[in-house]
Structure 1
């Protein structure tokens, strides 16, 4: 049997989440649609990083071999960027309201040393976390801003379709902005992947869609309580 969460405006829950009794207790964290959306976005990010680095510096030009050569890489890179943007819009629509900043997030950041030292369970306030902790929210909003910067600057330097709308100075600025944003988003992506590996059981949430009740209680206790009670916990 399962306990389905009631959809409340301020709840740290999401449609499709449910708690299933058993041994062990399992909790639905992501729907199949959300997982597909996530992996399309992740795949695009990897492809863009590889193709972008290939075009960034001559020493990395060998990476164009992964895409069929330099000309093909130059053609594919912006189109993959468009797919990334559209895919991320799907993620944004799904999860933006779950990533709004709350008082508990400020506390989480202030006591980050305990979190990194794996001692957050010693502090009751650090375990009362909704579906996403402050670190995950920073990654979400960071990705959102950076993807907008990348798509906007990318259009400015996409000469095949937009050369007549911009001048040389604008293109030079856009190239610099695009490169800086790309480096930052690669770093954010690395942190995101590392954190997913570091917190045991996290990757399973995005591959199978479920976590154990113990995992939810250990890392996102408020979210679990909201699921069980069907209303936001105080």
Structure 2
């Protein structure tokens, strides 16, 4: 009203109202903090600690359909991480380095397994083109899968310090792509190998005798046990490849499609299976590669050209040679080849 004095025109009242407004504003967060302040009864730390000790999951509440998102802490995950960081490198190191050491000792003590009668200059077909294609398809994929997989376990320790972080990151990215996509032709090779060779790899009585005599691998004076197309050692390698490859394929399939196992715990189990089988698989294949290359004279020809020397075949697969000759599939003259001077 004109001429009247407003109460707000007095400085003391202005100051009082400003102070009250400020107090009101500041009091709201304080009140909220006081009303929602967690207490010992609300948190129940002793229950959380007991749950961790007993290996139970610590879960909260979520409003989304995925109930697994409510898991705040999963103690099994710590065990899984500890396995990959500490135990798996030891398993791989003992298996792979142990096999390499054993093969080195075997080569020094036994030496290369020679053809006792020397090269005959005649050969006979052992593996057809399709069989060799299947073998090398599976073998080449396995080598890349093994190297890229070992990079996961040992690359950070062995490769990263040598090549540096940028080169290691680039190499690991390409290795991951190779590992993922070459898994499919590897699995295809396993299926074909099983179909074309399972009939000749059924264990029999002859295999027991072969094992008793060590297949003639440990005696330089001969003593080869008669065998058909595949001896006990080769049958063992075949079933290691089939069974080990099947386990690697199933576990790897779950790793490629992690939603299939259904939960994190099952996925962690499959990663452990995949890693352990891989280490043992690689160790076994090192022995196979050794005996099929530098370990045994004339052995590489079987998968190299498909034809083996007649004397080699008679020494290692005498019953198979007789079967082939009875079928007329082994020509009497054979195919001439150069005989190395030794």
TM range (shorter): 0.7 to 0.9
Report the equivalent of 1:151.
Answer: 249
Report the equivalent of 2:109.
Answer: none
Partner Cα separation in structure 1 for residue 262 and residue 129 of structure 2? 41
Q: CA deviation at 1:220?
A: 0.6
Which residue, out of 132, 135, 138, partners 1:38? 135
Report the equivalent of 1:94.
Answer: 196
Q: How does 1:26-175 map to 2 (within 5 A)?
A: 26-57=123-154, 58-60=156-158, 62=160, 68-112=170-214, 114-119=216-221, 121-122=222-223, 126=225, 128-158=226-256, 161-163=257-259, 165-175=261-271
Normalised TM-score (structure 1): 0.79
Structure 1 residues 66 and 216, CA gap change in structure 2 (3 angstroms)? farther
Report the equivalent of 1:176.
Answer: 272
Q: Is this contact kept in 2: 1:196–1:203, CA < 8 A?
A: yes
Secondary structure of 1:131's counterpart equals coil
Structure 1 stretches of 4+ with a deviation exceeding 4 A read: 60-68
Partner Cα separation in structure 2 for residue 24 and residue 69 of structure 1? 46
Structure 1 residues 209 and 68, CA gap change in structure 2 (3 angstroms)? farther
CA RMSD in angstroms comes to: 2.4
Secondary structure of 2:228's counterpart equals coil
Report the equivalent of 1:4.
Answer: none
Normalised TM-score (structure 2): 0.55
Partner Cα separation in structure 2 for residue 72 and residue 122 of structure 1? 49
Partner Cα separation in structure 1 for residue 168 and residue 227 of structure 2? 42
Report the equivalent of 1:220.
Answer: 317
Q: Is this contact kept in 2: 1:104–1:129, CA < 8 A?
A: yes
Q: Which structure's relative contact order is higher, taking Cα pairs within 8 Å and 6+ residues apart?
A: 1
**Structure 2: tracts of 5 or more residues without a match:** 1-119, 329-342
Structure 1 residues 56 and 163, CA gap change in structure 2 (3 angstroms)? farther
Report the equivalent of 1:206.
Answer: 303
Secondary structure of 1:27's counterpart equals strand
Deviations 1:157-210 (A, max 9, x none): 22xx44254311111111111011000110111010111122210101111110
Q: Is this contact kept in 1: 2:314–2:321, CA < 8 A?
A: yes
Partner Cα separation in structure 1 for residue 244 and residue 223 of structure 2? 35
Q: Is this contact kept in 2: 1:44–1:81, CA < 8 A?
A: yes
Report the equivalent of 1:193.
Answer: 289
Q: CA deviation at 1:103?
A: 0.4
Q: Is this contact kept in 1: 2:159–2:168, CA < 8 A?
A: no
Q: CA deviation at 1:226?
A: 0.4
Q: Which has the larger radius of gyration?
A: 2
**Would you say how many aligned residue pairs link Structure 1 and Structure 2?**
203
Q: CA deviation at 1:66?
A: 9.1
Partner Cα separation in structure 1 for residue 219 and residue 168 of structure 2? 40
Q: CA deviation at 1:113?
A: 7.5
Secondary structure of 1:54's counterpart equals helix
Q: CA deviation at 1:65?
A: 5.8
Deviations 1:9-47 (A, max 9, x none): xxxxxxxxxxxxxx7331100111111111111111110
Q: CA deviation at 1:60?
A: 4.4
